[in-house]
Chains A and B, each alone.
Chain A
């Protein structure tokens, strides 16, 4: 059983399109995150949700909108995709101050 699963694994799309990435965790964790890993492999937090409530929203363009229908799911919707959005997006979850568990990542390529 996969603990944190993201779909799709690969996403290739044209500039200007709108796309969504889905994330589900079956660990019963209260907190979920979206991280972005750029081409230099830097990992940066984008959003943090705790029990469906937005806790942290780093400096991310308004085109990115997370949605958490329940505490096991955290989806990421991106409007008007730009070339610079190309990256690997990781979903993660954790409980309290413990380690986070990561999904396998979604490689987004905007052409």
Chain B
């Protein structure tokens, strides 16, 4: 069975500084990895995914993530944080066509 760990409940970063939101995963087959963002009282918005190919994937709103197979990690990054990036971020994994399994979420707070 697949699982995702997001070790930080909360990440605080100053506006303009780089941000990282951590994610590690466990899956029996080849991992399909995703990041989603949730703003208050909204649904989940897709940010980016890793299926195959380059380990560094770029997504929406300037976010990127690096797939590291040896460390089973897929950390979300952004070079320069904006106050508007403040939200709840979810990492998710699927094994083939199985449903997405989500981490518990990390609340990102960007301070002006």
Binding site for B on A (CB under 8 A): 4, 31, 33, 40-45, 48, 56, 90, 92, 96-105, 107
Main secondary structure of the interface of A (DSSP, over half): strand
A97 near B105 with CB under 8 A, answer no
Q: Is the CB of A104 within 8 A of B49?
A: no
Instruction: Check A102–B43 contact: CB distance below 8 A.
Output: yes
- Given the interface pairs A31-B97, A41-B105, the reply to whether A99 lies near B44 with Cβ below 8 Å is no
Residue on A nearest B99 in the bound complex, by CB: A45
B interface with A by C-beta (< 8 Å): 32, 34, 36, 38, 41-46, 49, 51, 88, 90, 94, 96-102, 104-105
Chain B nearest CB: distance from A85 CB in Å? 19
Contact A90 B104 (CB under 8 A): no
Contact partner of B51 (CB less than 8 A), chosen from A48, A90, A97, is A97
Instruction: For the A-B complex with A42-B102, A45-B100, A102-B44 known, give 9 more contacts whose Cβ atoms are closer than 8 Å.
Output: A41-B104, A48-B99, A90-B43, A97-B32, A97-B96, A100-B34, A102-B45, A104-B42, A105-B41
